[in-house]
Structure 1
Amino acid sequence: MHTDIEQTTSTSSHADLSNNNGLSATAPGQLRVIKRNGTVVPFDASKIAIAMTKAFLAVEGGTAAASTRVRETVDNLTKQITATFKRRMPSGGTIHIEEIQDQVELILMRAGEQKVARDYVLYREEHARLRRAQKEVNKTEADPDYPAMSVTQADGTRAPLDIARMRTIVSEACAGLAGVEEKAILDEAMRNLYDGVAEKDVNTSLVITARTLVEKEPNYTYATARLLLDKLRAEALGFLGVAPSATQSDMELYYARALPVYIQKGVELELISPELLNFDLDKLGKALIADRDLQFTYLGLQTLYDRYFIHSDSTRIELPQIFFMRVAMGLALQEDKREERAIEFYRLLSSFDYMSSTPTLFNSGTLRPQLSSCYLTTVPDDLHGIYGAIQDNAMLSKFAGGLGNDWTPVRGLGAYIKGTNGKSQGVVPFLKVANDTAVAVNQGGKRKGAVCAYLETWHMDVEEFLELRKNTGDDRRRTHDMNTANWVPDLFMKRVFEDQEWTLFSPNDVPDLHDLYGKAFEERYEHYEQLAAQGKVRLFKTVRALDLWRKMLGMLFETGHPWITFKDPCNLRSPQQHAGVVHSSNLCTEITLNTKAGDEIAVCNLGSVNLAQHIVNGKLDLAKLEKTVSTAIRMLDNVIDINYYAVDTSKQSNLRHRPIGLGIMGFQDALYEQRIAYSSQAAVDFADTSMEAVSYYAIKASCQLAQERGKYSTFEGSLWSKGVLPIDSIDILAQNRGENYIKVDRSKTFDWDSLRTEVKTKGMRNSNVMAIAPTATISNITGVTQSIEPTYQNLYVKSNLSGEFTVVNPYLVHDLKDRGLWDSVMVNDLKYYEGSVQKIDRIPEDMKAIYATAFEVEPKWIVESASRRQKWIDQAQSLNLYIAGANGKKLDITYRMAWYSGLKTTYYLRALAATTTEKSTINTGALNAVSATGNSGLSAAPAAAKPVVADIEEASFAEAAPVPKACSIDNPDCEACQ
C-alpha cells in the first residue's frame, strides 16, 4: 500500500494577489508546493510523514504503523526533509512535488532503509508510467470546445494536437493576472491554426494572439511573455536533454537539474569559461528561483531571447534564471566565498532591483568577458597616433564597447605641416575614416558599432564639424553614422550671454588650451586672442559667438547633432583633477573621465538601480536601497578585475583609477507609484532626495570596499582625499565660473559630515562612483521606463532590434479601470491623440497632470530635476531634452538653462513635429511651452546674463521639425550604451 505525497496534499487555492502586476507572491518564510497539475498549495510536513508511513506499511506489513521504531524514524526523517527545504529557502519559496519525492528517496537511503526506498522508487516509476499513458489517452479524446487536428513535427511526421497541454500552458500564463482571460487567447489562437500546422507554429499562434490584447489590458504582456517561455523551455531544455516538454510549474525541479548540464555543455562548446565548472553547481542550481520567470513583460523576455541568451547554431541554450546565474557567476569568479556571492548577485539581478549593463550581461562568464560599457580616448596630432586611435576603436568596438573620441588635438584645415611643408586637410577626413570603421566593426555581431566624436568650440574646424550629419553637401566630408558632440568651455557661453566675439584657432598653434579649464583657460585663451590681434598667430578666425551658438542649435535641431556638453563643470567637479584632464564624455554623455593620448584610455563600468522597485507603500525604502547599492558597487568593482581588455592602455587606466558608474532607471515609474506628476516641484524634490540617497550609499559602499580591498592607487591628491564630495565641488565650479552664471540648489538631508570624514581617512575603492546611463535596453528587460526619462507616450508601438511591441502605460490603465473609464472608446481616443490624455474630456484633471507625456512636460522641469541630481553625481547623466514645436527661441533658452543650472552634459534633443503637435496640444496649440519670463528657470540670472534670443532667425527652423533618431524611441539600432 502506497500513497503519493501529492495525493495527500491539500487542494487549497492559489495564493492571493499582492502587487500591481497581479503576480502571486509568497508570504515571508512560507514554503509552497507546486503540484503536477500546476496548482500551488502550502507546504505540509504531515503529508510527507503519511506517505513514508504507508511506504513502511507496504514493506513491513500492517504492524509497522504501530511500531515505535517506524514512528520515530518517520518523525525524524520528516524533520530532516523539512529542515533541508527551509535551509535552502530561508525566506520562503516554492518546491515542486517531484523534488519532495526525490528528497524522500534520498533520506530513506541515507537512513539505511534500502528496502523501503527501493519499493518507493518502483512505486514512483509505475505511477509516472500510468500518468504518461493517461496523457496519451487524453490526447485522443475529443475536446468539447475545439476540433481535433494534427500537427507536423520537426521530423515531418504528424501527431495529434495536444489541446490539453495548450490549455495547461495558457492557464499557467494567465494565473494570477487580473483582467486576463484564458478563453480569449485560446479561442483566437485555435482560429489561426489548421490541420497539419507546424508544431512550432502552435506557440507562435498563442504568443501573437496574446500580444494583440496588450493594448486593451497591460497584463497581457505578462501572459504573452509566459507563453513565449514555453518556446524557450522547449528550445533550451531540448538542447540540454533535460525536459523539453516542461511547463512552468515543472521548472522548480528542472532549473536545478539544467544548470550543471548547461555549464558543462557551454564549456564543451567553448561558449562559457571553464572556470565556471569550479563552482558548486548543485548548490547554485538549487538557488534558482523559477517564479521570477513570471516578472517579465513580453518586450523584456523577447529582448533577452533575441540578443542576450547564449546560443549554439542559433539555438538558445539559456533560460532566464540560468542567464542571470551565469552573469552572477562570472562576476563572482574572484570572490573568496564565490558560491555565496554568486547567489547574492543572482538574487539582485533576477529580482530586477538592479541590472548590469549590456556588455556585462552579454559577456560575463564567457571566454572573453568584456564587461565594460564605454571607452574614452584622446586622438593625438600625428598620423601614427590618429590611425592607432582608429585601430583602438576597432578593437574596443569588436567586443561591445561604446566609444567617445576626443579629436580636439588634431590640427585644423589649412594648418601648416612642417614635415611636408604643406597644409592640413583638417580633422574632418579622419572623422570620415572613424565613422566607416564603426560601421565595419560592429559590437561582437550583436549590435552596431557606435562612436561619438568630441570637438572643442574654439577649434578651427568647428563650423564644418557642426555639419557632419547633414544630408547635403560633399558626402566625403559627412559622417552619417557617427555621433558628434560639442565640448563647450564656459568662456564661450559667457560670450554668448554677453553677445561678444569668439576666436577659432588651430590646436597646433595653441596646444595648451586643450588641457586647461576654468580661470586658467580663460586667461590663456584671452592671451592667444591678443597674440592673434598682433599678427603673432598663424591661423585663426573671429566670429560672433551668438552666430556660432545659433548654428550649433540649428544643426542640433536639423540633424540631432552635435550634442552640447560642457567642458568646465566636467573638469572642475571631477574628483581626479590631480591625475589628468577630462577631454570628452562618452557615447552617451554620462561618463566624465580623464584621458591622455597614448597613455590612458578611460574605461567605465556601468549598472543601474531600478528606482521603481524601491518604492514601498508609496515611499522610497531606504533600507532596501542601501542593500541594493552596496551589492551593486561590489559587482561593479569586480568588473574591473575580471574584465577582458582589448587594448592595454585601457587596462592600465582602469586598474589605476578603478572608476565605476552606478545609475538609476525607472524614475518615471517611481513617480507613478507615488502619484507625483513629472511637471511638479514634488518630482524635482524626489529627484533630489532619491539621488542623494543613492549617492550617499554608493560613496559609503566604495569607502567600505576600500577598507576590505584597499584604496585605488591614485586616491591621494584627489578631491576625495581632501574631503571634497560631489555636493562640495559645486563651490569650485561657482568660484571659477562666477556666481552670476550658476544657480544650483545645495540643500541636503543626510549626515554628510560623518561620511566626508570617513572617506577622507579610510579612502575610496573607486575614483568615480556614479553616472546615469540611458539604460535603453536593460530598462526593457526589467519593464520600466528608461533612465530618468518621462513617459514617451501612454500608448504607442515601440521598435527595436527585437521587432515591434505595443507599449501601453499600465499605471494609466489601472487608474482608468478604477474609475470605470477604460473601454474601447478610450483605447481609440489614446490612439487618435497619439498616447496623450490631455484632450480626452472624460479624463480627470489630476490624471492629466500625472500622465502628461514627454513632450507635454516643460523642459524647465526636466532641467531642474537634472540639476538636482547632478549635484550628487561625480560624473554626469544622459539627459534628453524634449521640446514640442521647437524653434530657435525655445532651444536657446533651454540650452542656456542647462548650462546655467550647472549641468555637465546634455544628450539627444527630442523635437516633436508641428504637424504632430496639433492634435495633442494642451493649451492654445502649444505643448510644453518655454517662455522667456521668470518661468523659464532663468529669473535669477543677472541682467548681463539674460538670454539673447531676439536675433535668432525663426526661419532657420523648419515649421515641421524632423524627429531625430534616438535611443529606444524610434531608432532600433541606437541602443549602444545599455
Structure 2
Amino acid sequence: MQTSAQLQRSSTAQTVINQSSASTDNYNYQPQESRYQVIRRNGDVTPFDQAKIVIAMTKAFLAVEGEDAAGSSRIHDIVNALATNVFNALVRHMPESGVTHIENIQDQVELALMRAGEHKVSQAYVIYRAEQQKKRAEEESNSANVVTQETRHIVMLDGSRCVFDPGIVESEIHAAVDGIDDVDADKLIQQSFANVYDGMSFDELNQAMVLSARGLIDREPNYSQVAARLLLNNLRSEALSCVYQRAMTLDSQSMAESYGDYFQKYLHVAAKLELVDEELLNFDLAVLAQAIRPECDLAFGYLGLQTLYDRYFIHTDGTRIELPQAFFMRVAMGLAINEVDRESRAIEFYKLLSSFDFMSSTPTLFNSGTLRPQLSSCYLTTVPDDLKGIYAALGDNAMLSKFAGGLGNDWTPVRGMGAYIRGTNGKSQGVVPFLKVANDTAVAVNQGGKRKGAVCAYLETWHIDIEDFLDLRKNTGDERRRTHDMNTANWIPDLFMQRVVEEAEWTLFSPEDAPDLHELSGKKFKQAYERYESLADSGEIKLFKRLKAVDLWRKMIGMLFETGHPWMTFKDPCNIRYTNQHLGVVHSSNLCTEITLHTNSDEIAVCNLGSVNLAQHMRGDQLDHDKLERTITTAMRMLDNVIDYNYYSVPQARRSNLQHRPVGLGLMGFQDALYQKGLSYASEAAVQFADDSMELISYYAIQASCQLARERGSYPSYQGSLWSKGILPIDSAKLLAEQRGNYIDQNLDSLLDWSSLRADIQQHGMRNSNCLAIAPTATISNICGVSQSIEPTYQNLYVKSNLSGEFAVSNWYLVRELKELGLWDEVMVNDLKYYDGSIQKIDRIPDDVKAIYSNAFEMDSRWLVEAGSRRQKWLDQAQSLNLYMSEASGKKLDQLYKLAWVRGLKTTYYLRSLGATQVEKSNGGATGIANTVTQATEPQVCSILDPDCEACQ
C-alpha cells in the first residue's frame, strides 16, 4: 500500500506528466533534426540530446529511492515528462533553433525537479553536479590540453568573424554591476566565458551574459537588475541596428548622449512602417527628445524589462525597434494627442510612466500612438433573448477581443432550458449551448495576437439554467456543455443570500416569465420575486423549479472549490451604490470583477484603467500625501484622455463611453508598502492602512475628476446621478446598509474632510461617472517591479515562466531583512527552495519576521476580506479580490464568502488553493477574526490555479 507521501508525489507526478503532454505540441520536439545545440564545458558544440537529461534525472531518483525502484513505471513516466519540460523551458526563447550551455540545462533540471515537488531528488541531483564538478577540476589540473578563450571566434553584427576578445565581456559586466551591491562581477565573467564557443554570434554572446546573471537571481535578488542591464545591451543593439539600418551597439554613456537622436529617427521609421500614427511626427520632437531620461532604463528588474521586450515593444518582422524610454514617450504622446499644449502634457505623462509612479493598463501600453488606439481594458455587454441579437453579441465579442479588450457578458435575459419559443412552436435549449459558442469565439479571436482572448459569462442566481451554468468548467460530462476556456461568475441578489442564511426555499425562473427581475435590485427585487413565486404557486407560471437555497449555495461553493468557477459577485451592492443608477442597471461585472457599469441593448459599458504604484509613494514608513495627490491628478487626466482618443470597434461602446466617461484608477504595490511599514498583511494595522490609503486615493481621484469638470465640463449624463445629489461613495455605502438591514456589518469610519469636496462637486460637477476600480495588474506590476495590485505575497521564492524560459524569483524585501540579521547564505537559499518559498518552518528566522513575510496561503483569508471591505467603502466600482486558502473546505468557504457579503463587498475574484504536496509543507496562518454564519457541505476536490491572470492588465 502507498503511503500518504507517495500518493501526494504520484499526484504531483501525474500533474507534471499531463502538463508535459499538453505543452510538447507547442514546440514540436523532433530530436532527430538536431535543431538545438549544446556548448560543452570545453567549448565544443554538440547536438542536444534529451536522453542524457533522462539518464541524469533517473540516476538522481534511484539515488533517493534505491536500486529496487529501477524499472518503476512511475519514475520512467515522470522523468520523461520532466525532461520534456526542461527542453520546453530551454527553447521557449528560441523556437526554431539555438544554442545553450550545459550548465543552463542542468539549472533547468534542478528547477524542474523543484517545481514537481521532488525536493529530495533535487538535492541528490545537486550533489551529483557537485561531484562531477570536482571530478572535472581534477582532470583539468592533470591536463595540458585546455582550450584557451583566444582560439574562439565571434561573428560580429556586420557578419565579420573575429577572435573573441574577453575584454568585451569584462567591460559590459563591470558596467552592469556598477553601483549594485552584493553582486560578483568576476563570477559573472567566468560563467559568461564558459558559455563562449567558436562561431558564436555577437547577439548570442550578449544573451550568454544575461543568462549568467539570470541564473543567480535566486541566490541574490540584485542580480535581477544586473540581468536587466545586460538585456538592455541586447535591446540597444537590436533597435539601433534596425533604426539606423546598420549594425551598431552603444554602451550606457554613449546611449545617453544619443537617445534623443535615436528617438526622433525611431518615430520616423515606425511611421513609415505604419506602426505608429503619423500624427506623432507633428509633435515638436526635439522638445520631447530633450525630456527623455535615459537613466530610467537602469531602474528595471530583469522580469520587467523582459516582459516589455516579449510583449510590448513595437517590432517589425520580429525585430524590436523600440527602447524603453521611447516606448513610454510614444504612449504619453498618444494620450496627449488631443491636448492644447500637447508637448508639455506628453512630457508630464511620460515622467509619470517612466518613474513607475503610475502605469496605464496593457491595452493602453500596447496601442497608444498606433494606427488603432484601442486603449480600453474592459467591455461589459448584455446579451438579448433573440437569435439575431445573440449572434450580434457574439460578433461584438469577436471585434472587441480582436483589439485586446477583456469581456464581461450578461447572459441572464436568455430564456432557459424548456422555455417556449413562439416562432417555431418549440422549446429552448437554454443558455448553455450559446455559452459554448462564446467560449469558442474567445479561443478563435485572440487579442491582437498578443494574448489569449478572454471573456467572463455572468448569470443571475434565479435563472432556471443556473445549475447547468455551475457545471460549465467541470472536467467531466458532456463536452458540448462545457466551457473550459471561459470564465464564469454568479450574479447573486441579496435575497438569495438572506434565504441561505435563513435556510429558506429558493425558486428558479426562466427570464421571459419574470422579465423585470433582471432590472430590479434591493427591496424592489424582493417584492417582484415574491410576486412571481405566488404566480408559480397558483399555476400561472409553468416553468420553474423550487429547491432549498442552502442546497444551491452548497453546489455553488462546491464548484468554486472544484473548478475555481463560477466566481461570487453580488448584484445588490453593485446597483444600490451605482453612481449612474438613474440611467440603467448593472447587470454584471467584467472579466476581472472590478468594473460595475450599466449595460443595455444600446450601450456596451467601457472602462479605462490604470494603477498608482503605492510603493513609489512611501517615504520611509509613511505615505507621501503631496506626491500621491500630484500623481493621481495627472493620472486621472491621462485616463480621461483615453475616452476621446480611443478606437471603438463597435458603436455601442463609443456611445456609452462618451456619455458617461467612466475610468478606473486602481493601485498596485500594496504588499510592498506593508513591507516598508514593517506590517504583516494579517494584522489590524494592515487593515487600517488599507482603509487610510484607499481613502486618500479615492479623495484625490474624485477631486481630480471634479477639477477636470471645471476645465472641460461634466460628463453628459451627470444630472440625476448620485454625484449630482451630493452622494459620494462613502455615502452610498450607507444606502446599502439601509437596504440590507441586519445583513451588513461594514466599517464606515473616515478621516478626511469630505464635506468641502462634496461642495466642490455640487458647484462644478464630475468629469467621470466613475473614478475608481482596482484591477489585477498582473503584468504592469511586473514591469514596475512591485507586488500585484492588493495581493499578498504569493511565495517568497518561486519559479517564473515567461517567453524567455524559467527562472527563480525571490522576495528581495525578505532577503534584505535576512541580510541585516546575518541569516542570508547558501543554506537559507536551499531551505527556501525546499519549503517552496515559505519561512515558517525555518527555526533560525525570528517569529516577528515570519509574521511579516507569511505568504498568501499562510494567513487566514478573512484578513483579505476585512481589508477589502475597508477599501470597498471608498470605491465607486469594485476590486479584483483574490482569496487564498491552503487547506480549503466547504465549511471554510461557506464562512469566507458569507463574510464577504456581510462586509459589503461587491465582488470577489479567483479562489486559489494549494495541492497536497504544498499543503504538507505549510503551517497554519494568523487568527483573530470572528467566524460567520452556518456551514456548507465539504467538497472533495482541490484545484491549483495560475497565480498570474493577465487578462485585464
Shared topology, TM-score over 0.5? Answer: yes
Confirm whether residue 411 of structure 1 aligns to residue 394 of structure 2. no
Confirm whether residue 775 of structure 1 aligns to residue 759 of structure 2. no
Aligned equivalent of 1:424, options 421, 428, 434? 428
Report the alpha carbon displacement of residue 927 of structure 1 after superposing the two structures with TM.
4.3
Residue aligning to 2:669: 666
On the 8 A contact 1:884/1:914 being kept in 2, the answer is no
Report the alpha carbon displacement of residue 197 of structure 1 after superposing the two structures with TM.
1.7
Residue aligning to 2:937: 953
Give the TM-score of the pair, scaled to structure 1: 0.81
On the 8 A contact 1:897/1:937 being kept in 2, the answer is no
Report the alpha carbon displacement of residue 184 of structure 1 after superposing the two structures with TM.
1.1
Residue aligning to 1:368: 372
Q: Secondary structure at the match of 1:605?
A: strand
Confirm whether residue 964 of structure 1 aligns to residue 945 of structure 2. yes
On the 8 A contact 1:885/1:927 being kept in 2, the answer is no
Report the alpha carbon displacement of residue 948 of structure 1 after superposing the two structures with TM.
1.7
Residue aligning to 1:9: none
On the 8 A contact 2:150/2:164 being kept in 1, the answer is no
Residue aligning to 1:274: 278
On the 8 A contact 2:157/2:248 being kept in 1, the answer is no
Report the alpha carbon displacement of residue 248 of structure 1 after superposing the two structures with TM.
1.3
**C-alpha separation in 1, matches of 2:401 and 2:502:** 42
On the 8 A contact 2:564/2:943 being kept in 1, the answer is no
Report the alpha carbon displacement of residue 238 of structure 1 after superposing the two structures with TM.
0.8
Aligned equivalent of 1:479, options 483, 498, 502? 483
**C-alpha separation in 2, matches of 1:849 and 1:449:** 39
**C-alpha separation in 1, matches of 2:854 and 2:242:** 47
Residue aligning to 2:619: 616
Aligned equivalent of 2:191, options 188, 191, 195? 188
Q: Secondary structure at the match of 1:790?
A: coil
Report the alpha carbon displacement of residue 155 of structure 1 after superposing the two structures with TM.
6.2
Instruction: Rate the CA distance shift 1:870–1:916 in 2: closer, same or farther, 3 A.
Output: same
On the 8 A contact 2:215/2:807 being kept in 1, the answer is no
Residue aligning to 1:857: 859
Amino acid at match of 1:535: G
On the 8 A contact 1:292/1:321 being kept in 2, the answer is yes
**C-alpha separation in 1, matches of 2:860 and 2:696:** 26
Instruction: Rate the CA distance shift 1:162–1:147 in 2: closer, same or farther, 3 A.
Output: closer
Instruction: Rate the CA distance shift 1:518–1:769 in 2: closer, same or farther, 3 A.
Output: same
Instruction: Rate the CA distance shift 1:192–1:395 in 2: closer, same or farther, 3 A.
Output: same
Q: Give the aligned length.
A: 806
Q: Secondary structure at the match of 1:543?
A: strand
Report the alpha carbon displacement of residue 194 of structure 1 after superposing the two structures with TM.
1.8
On the 8 A contact 1:180/1:219 being kept in 2, the answer is yes
Amino acid at match of 2:952: C
Confirm whether residue 354 of structure 1 aligns to residue 358 of structure 2. yes
| Cα deviation digits, residues 594-646 of structure 1 (max 9, x gap) | 1002x000000000000000001221000000000000000000000000000
**C-alpha separation in 2, matches of 1:894 and 1:928:** 15
Confirm whether residue 976 of structure 1 aligns to residue 939 of structure 2. no
Residue aligning to 2:709: 706
Aligned equivalent of 2:888, options 886, 889, 896? 886
Residue aligning to 1:870: 872
Q: Secondary structure at the match of 2:558?
A: helix
Report the alpha carbon displacement of residue 216 of structure 1 after superposing the two structures with TM.
1.0
Matches within 5 A, 1:294-313: 294-313=298-317
**C-alpha separation in 2, matches of 1:157 and 1:176:** 34
On the 8 A contact 2:674/2:686 being kept in 1, the answer is yes
Report the alpha carbon displacement of residue 806 of structure 1 after superposing the two structures with TM.
1.5
**C-alpha separation in 2, matches of 1:419 and 1:644:** 38
Report the alpha carbon displacement of residue 338 of structure 1 after superposing the two structures with TM.
0.5
Confirm whether residue 338 of structure 1 aligns to residue 342 of structure 2. yes
Matches within 5 A, 1:238-317: 238-241=241-244, 244-317=248-321
**C-alpha separation in 1, matches of 2:368 and 2:325:** 14
| Cα deviation digits, residues 326-379 of structure 1 (max 9, x gap) | 000000000010000000000000000000000000000000000000100000
**C-alpha separation in 2, matches of 1:167 and 1:801:** 28
Amino acid at match of 1:426: G
Report the alpha carbon displacement of residue 159 of structure 1 after superposing the two structures with TM.
1.3
Report the alpha carbon displacement of residue 434 of structure 1 after superposing the two structures with TM.
0.5
On the 8 A contact 2:682/2:926 being kept in 1, the answer is no
Confirm whether residue 453 of structure 1 aligns to residue 457 of structure 2. yes
Report the alpha carbon displacement of residue 953 of structure 1 after superposing the two structures with TM.
2.9
| Cα deviation digits, residues 65-100 of structure 1 (max 9, x gap) | xxxxxxxxxxxxxxxxxxxxxxxxxxxxxxxxxxxx
Residue aligning to 2:96: none
| Cα deviation digits, residues 215-268 of structure 1 (max 9, x gap) | 111100000000000100000011111882101121221110111101111110
On the 8 A contact 2:679/2:685 being kept in 1, the answer is yes
| Cα deviation digits, residues 441-469 of structure 1 (max 9, x gap) | 00000000000000000000000000000
**C-alpha separation in 2, matches of 1:186 and 1:168:** 10
Instruction: Rate the CA distance shift 1:499–1:800 in 2: closer, same or farther, 3 A.
Output: farther
| Cα deviation digits, residues 794-824 of structure 1 (max 9, x gap) | 0010224554232100000011011100001
Gaps of 5+ in 1: 1-143, 930-934, 939-945, 969-973
Q: Secondary structure at the match of 1:322?
A: helix
Residue aligning to 2:908: 906
| Cα deviation digits, residues 401-440 of structure 1 (max 9, x gap) | 0000000000000000111110000000000000000000
Confirm whether residue 203 of structure 1 aligns to residue 178 of structure 2. no
| Cα deviation digits, residues 82-123 of structure 1 (max 9, x gap) | xxxxxxxxxxxxxxxxxxxxxxxxxxxxxxxxxxxxxxxxxx
Report the alpha carbon displacement of residue 147 of structure 1 after superposing the two structures with TM.
4.2
Residue aligning to 1:805: 807
Amino acid at match of 1:763: G
Amino acid at match of 1:339: E
Report the alpha carbon displacement of residue 904 of structure 1 after superposing the two structures with TM.
0.2
| Cα deviation digits, residues 860-892 of structure 1 (max 9, x gap) | 110000000000000000000001110100100
**C-alpha separation in 2, matches of 1:715 and 1:805:** 50
Aligned equivalent of 1:566, options 563, 570, 575? 570
On the 8 A contact 2:912/2:943 being kept in 1, the answer is no
Confirm whether residue 715 of structure 1 aligns to residue 718 of structure 2. yes
Confirm whether residue 164 of structure 1 aligns to residue 182 of structure 2. no
Amino acid at match of 1:901: R
**C-alpha separation in 1, matches of 2:521 and 2:937:** 32
Residue aligning to 1:10: none
Report the alpha carbon displacement of residue 156 of structure 1 after superposing the two structures with TM.
5.2
Report the alpha carbon displacement of residue 146 of structure 1 after superposing the two structures with TM.
5.8
**C-alpha separation in 2, matches of 1:862 and 1:803:** 32
Amino acid at match of 2:384: P
Amino acid at match of 1:504: L
On the 8 A contact 2:149/2:164 being kept in 1, the answer is no
**C-alpha separation in 1, matches of 2:522 and 2:688:** 30
Amino acid at match of 1:711: S
Residue aligning to 1:689: 692
Report the alpha carbon displacement of residue 915 of structure 1 after superposing the two structures with TM.
3.1
**C-alpha separation in 1, matches of 2:804 and 2:787:** 17
Amino acid at match of 1:823: D
**C-alpha separation in 1, matches of 2:499 and 2:716:** 40
Give the TM-score of the pair, scaled to structure 2: 0.84
On the 8 A contact 1:601/1:650 being kept in 2, the answer is yes
On the 8 A contact 1:499/1:948 being kept in 2, the answer is no
Residue aligning to 1:175: 178
On the 8 A contact 1:173/1:227 being kept in 2, the answer is yes
CA RMSD across the alignment: 1.3
Matches within 5 A, 1:536-615: 536-597=540-601, 599-615=602-618
Higher relative CO (Cα under 8 Å, sequence separation at least 6) belongs to 2
Residue aligning to 2:922: 920
**C-alpha separation in 2, matches of 1:147 and 1:682:** 61
Report the alpha carbon displacement of residue 168 of structure 1 after superposing the two structures with TM.
2.1
Amino acid at match of 1:276: L
**C-alpha separation in 2, matches of 1:936 and 1:532:** 42
Amino acid at match of 2:822: G
Residue aligning to 2:764: 762
On the 8 A contact 2:383/2:411 being kept in 1, the answer is yes
On the 8 A contact 2:500/2:550 being kept in 1, the answer is yes
Q: Secondary structure at the match of 1:579?
A: coil
Confirm whether residue 398 of structure 1 aligns to residue 402 of structure 2. yes
Amino acid at match of 1:193: V
